[in-house]
Chains A and B, each alone.
Chain A
Amino acid sequence: MSEAPVQVMDGCIGCGLCVDSCPFDAIEMVDEVAVITEACRACGECVDACPSGVIVMKEAAEAVLTDYKGVMVYAEHRNGRVHPVSYELLGKAQELAAQLMEPVYAVIVGSGVGAGAEELVSRGADKVFVYDDPALKDFRDDPYSDLLTQCCNEEKPSIFLVGATSIGRSMGPRVAAQLKTGLTADCTSLSIDDETGFLWQTRPAYGGNIMATIYTPMSRPQMATVRYKMFPEAKKVDNPKGVIINKTVNMNMVKDRVKVLGFEEAKEQVSITDADIIVSGGLGMGESTGFELMQKLATALGGAVGASRPTVDEGWIDYRHQVGLSGRTVRPQVYLACGISGAVQHQAGMKTSDVIIAVNKDPEAPIFRISNLGVVGDLYEVVPRLIEKIKEQ
């Protein structure tokens, strides 16, 4: 890296606008990347000219950014347990922190969260910050986001990861807005850029047609919500050395405007986002009773039932089962698509499945282009026989 007071970070697109903007001819293009030479007087013209925002004043950048250390994970505690996505984030945080040589933190909010905090320590968190109060029993966006904001302001982590659960996606933006920092939604992969040490946050965009890598150059913490089932969970460590730090909760100091009146647990046994095996039915089933067959196969395999959008629109099955761009994104070990053509909007919700098997009458069906195994046949012949065979064995 150059000694110049102005720094070009990763992501320079070589447009040359900075070269034109520089009154001191202090910028050269080398291999299509801007390089600041010793002639630089730190006037800042190029910072303004850069369309990608990758040119920064060094002092400005360093003064703020280096105050922040540690990779913090929000451990979502609900109904007496820590959501498994939190352990996945903890595992990823350990990897990122090792590279940065920074500590790993977890923060947990709720009532009676002691066992959860201990579990986080046993899985290798260096510090677990605990906000425990009977008044925090039910999740509410207001007090939870206020406390997390407070925690980030006090502990100054460089990275703050939140699970992209319904709770995380509702509360995360509030925290980011309070902290005046960026938030990347629904990330599927995270890494540290070797040169800058910045967090690279990759997420699908446009219904999965495109992947975008995003970073947060100027503000801290670097925040992301991260999809469930993307990383392995942090394992128990041999000699846990982490500590639990109880934080004071003063409910008079946090907002609390929305009241929880009741909660009705979802009836479905296996939700499709958690299922390891999904059997999905499409319009090719011809009628609503097709889902009875799908359910039988799913039950035989211990999986859940998914659906394409038109079957939901037809009223054959509840929206909660819809897979795709306007439904849910799933990533099971096996996705079995029956009578589904494989439109790009459907693919958007399932193509990261480990193994895709498709049954379709039409040998030209697009679903076959992304299937590990494509079976050309009538689902009403194949599926009943498959169920029999599974039961026989």
Chain B
Amino acid sequence: MSEGLKIIVPIKQVPETTEVEFDEETGTLKREGVAAIINPFDEFAIEEGLRLKEKHGGEVNVLTMGPPWAADALRDAIAMGADKGWLVTDRAFAGADTWATSLTLAKSIEKMDGYDLIICGLKTTDGDTGQTGPEMAEHLNIPHVCYVNEIIDVKDGKVVLKRNLDDGVETLEAPLPLLITVGKDINQPRLATLRGRIKAKKAEIKEITNSDLQLDPKEIGLEGSFTRVVKIFEPEQHEAGEVVEGTVEELVDAIYQKLQECKVI
């Protein structure tokens, strides 16, 4: 692999807090006016891309689909060390579910400069599905591996890696091109340097709109989404019970009694 690895990291800008507002009419999120950050899991994806580049050479491109100001997330990634930023933005893409998002991203990736490895975050803190990655892989007709916690080696067009399953850790060998999703146990993301920030400020962000992709309006945005939100509501609060104070013995008794009530002792 003399030219090194071409890596794409799809990232998403998410609201900083988990207290966000919804547009009651469309059942989609109101992103305006909420401080935005890179989806925390995506920082691990960027970091892993940078480490692979350091080891094997190549480049790391970051890609996001979102409103024009999602370019900030791309600049933050460039400040960490990513090479180029791609912004997929068009009103027609708005309100997309994971099917439409992953299709739009996959078609955008086909317009970029080629790739060996796509690294996604495990999931986003807003959409919170973890589906975009695997669906994108299907649209691109490449294999995927979720929950990667270690990349052992990349050699001869193959990757050996480890991933977390519910019951243990699996070692796999997968061919390139490949899509993986990574969680927070894969690395410790670096902070942006001052030099990086200066570079990021000046970096050119490439824009992709639907006039580049020419996707059927029925396949993108809210219209292209197979799932629809019917309603949004507050979860039932766990009812608050009593709060007791007293001597240690009284406190222990209270817990002991509760455990007995629950029939666990």
- In chain B between 148 and 186, which residues have their CB closer than 8 angstroms to a CB of chain A? 160, 164-175, 184-185
Q: Are A185 and B166 in contact (CB under 8 A)?
A: no
Binary CB contact string for chain B from 12 to 28 against chain A (1 if under 8 A, 0 otherwise): 00000011101011110
Among A36-44, A47-55, A109-117, A287-295, the stretch that binds chain B is A47-55
- A236 within 8 Å of B by Cβ? no
- B241 within 8 Å of A by Cβ? yes
CB of A61, distance to nearest CB on chain B (Å): 13
Among B59-67, B78-86, B127-135, B189-197, the stretch that binds chain A is B127-135
- A3 within 8 Å of B by Cβ? no
A224 to B122, CA, bound (A): 18
Q: Which residue of A lies closest to B169 (CB)?
A: A264
CB of A146, distance to nearest CB on chain B (Å): 10
- A301 within 8 Å of B by Cβ? yes
Q: Are A355 and B135 in contact (CB under 8 A)?
A: no
- A58 within 8 Å of B by Cβ? no
- A209 within 8 Å of B by Cβ? yes
Contact A215-B230, Cβ < 8 Å, known A166-B164, A363-B245, A373-B258: yes
Q: Which residue of A lies closest to B261 (CB)?
A: A355
CB of A134, distance to nearest CB on chain B (Å): 19
- B213 within 8 Å of A by Cβ? no
Q: Are B18 and A348 in contact (CB under 8 A)?
A: yes
A160 to B258, CA, bound (A): 40
CB of B240, distance to nearest CB on chain A (Å): 5
A326 to B167, CA, bound (A): 19
- A78 within 8 Å of B by Cβ? yes
Contact partner of B25 (CB less than 8 A), chosen from A15, A207, A211, A277, is A15
Contact A183-B99, Cβ < 8 Å, known A333-B262, A344-B18: yes
Q: Which residue of A lies closest to B152 (CB)?
A: A261
Among B50-58, B109-117, B138-146, B203-211, the stretch that binds chain A is B138-146
Q: Are A351 and B238 in contact (CB under 8 A)?
A: yes
Binary CB contact string for chain A from 330 to 360 against chain B (1 if under 8 A, 0 otherwise): 0001101000000011001001111111010
Q: Are B228 and A214 in contact (CB under 8 A)?
A: yes
Q: Are A213 and B231 in contact (CB under 8 A)?
A: yes
Contact A385-B130, Cβ < 8 Å, known A265-B168, A356-B238: no
Among B2-10, B69-77, B246-254, the stretch that binds chain A is B246-254
Contact partner of B173 (CB less than 8 A), chosen from A258, A357, A377, is A258
- In chain A between 187 and 227, which residues have their CB closer than 8 angstroms to a CB of chain B? 200, 204-219
Interface size on B, residues (CB 8 A): 81
Q: Are B171 and A210 in contact (CB under 8 A)?
A: no
- In chain B between 204 and 255, which residues have their CB closer than 8 angstroms to a CB of chain A? 222-223, 225-235, 237-245, 248-249, 251-252, 254-255
Q: Chain B CB within 10 Å — which of A15, A206, A261, A382 has the most?
A: A206
Contact A261-B143, Cβ < 8 Å, known A368-B240, A385-B252: no
Contact A301-B130, Cβ < 8 Å, known A206-B18, A363-B243, A390-B265: no
- A21 within 8 Å of B by Cβ? no
- A281 within 8 Å of B by Cβ? no
A165 to B167, CA, bound (A): 10
- A176 within 8 Å of B by Cβ? yes
CB of B193, distance to nearest CB on chain A (Å): 23
Among A97-105, A118-126, A167-175, the stretch that binds chain B is A167-175
Contact A261-B228, Cβ < 8 Å, known A382-B252, A386-B256: no
Q: Are B160 and A261 in contact (CB under 8 A)?
A: yes
Q: Are A141 and B134 in contact (CB under 8 A)?
A: yes
Q: Are B143 and A52 in contact (CB under 8 A)?
A: no
Q: Are A373 and B254 in contact (CB under 8 A)?
A: yes
Contact A369-B252, Cβ < 8 Å, known A204-B235, A217-B228, A344-B18: no
Q: Are B128 and A186 in contact (CB under 8 A)?
A: yes
Q: Chain A CB within 10 Å — which of B164, B174, B252 has the most?
A: B252
Q: Are A345 and B265 in contact (CB under 8 A)?
A: no
Chain B residues near A385 (CB, 8 Å)? 248-249, 252
Chain A residues near B235 (CB, 8 Å)? 204, 208-211, 351
- A246 within 8 Å of B by Cβ? no
- B89 within 8 Å of A by Cβ? no
Chain B residues near A78 (CB, 8 Å)? 167
Q: Which residue of B lies closest to A358 (CB)?
A: B243
Interface size on A, residues (CB 8 A): 102
A176 to B78, CA, bound (A): 33
Contact partner of B231 (CB less than 8 A), chosen from A11, A145, A209, is A11
- B35 within 8 Å of A by Cβ? no
Q: Are B143 and A257 in contact (CB under 8 A)?
A: yes
- B98 within 8 Å of A by Cβ? yes
- A319 within 8 Å of B by Cβ? yes
Q: Are A177 and B226 in contact (CB under 8 A)?
A: no
A185 to B165, CA, bound (A): 17
Contact partner of A166 (CB less than 8 A), chosen from B160, B165, B245, is B165
Q: Are B18 and A207 in contact (CB under 8 A)?
A: yes
- A243 within 8 Å of B by Cβ? no
- In chain A between 367 and 382, which residues have their CB closer than 8 angstroms to a CB of chain B? 368-377, 381-382
A205 to B126, CA, bound (A): 7
A218 to B94, CA, bound (A): 19
Contact A258-B26, Cβ < 8 Å, known A183-B131, A215-B230: no
Q: Chain B CB within 10 Å — which of A11, A212, A219, A351 has the most?
A: A212
Contact partner of A172 (CB less than 8 A), chosen from B102, B131, B231, B232, is B131
CB of B122, distance to nearest CB on chain A (Å): 9
Chain B residues near A363 (CB, 8 Å)? 243, 245
Q: Chain A CB within 10 Å — which of B126, B164, B232 has the most?
A: B232
Closest 4 CB pairs of A and B: A182-B226, A177-B138, A182-B227, A374-B243
Provide a sorted-by-A list of 26 A–B residue pairs whose CB atoms are within 8 angstroms. Answer: A52-B25, A52-B27, A166-B146, A170-B144, A173-B138, A177-B138, A200-B230, A209-B18, A212-B27, A261-B172, A263-B169, A271-B166, A302-B264, A319-B185, A325-B18, A333-B264, A348-B18, A359-B255, A363-B245, A369-B240, A372-B239, A373-B241, A373-B242, A375-B254, A382-B255, A389-B252
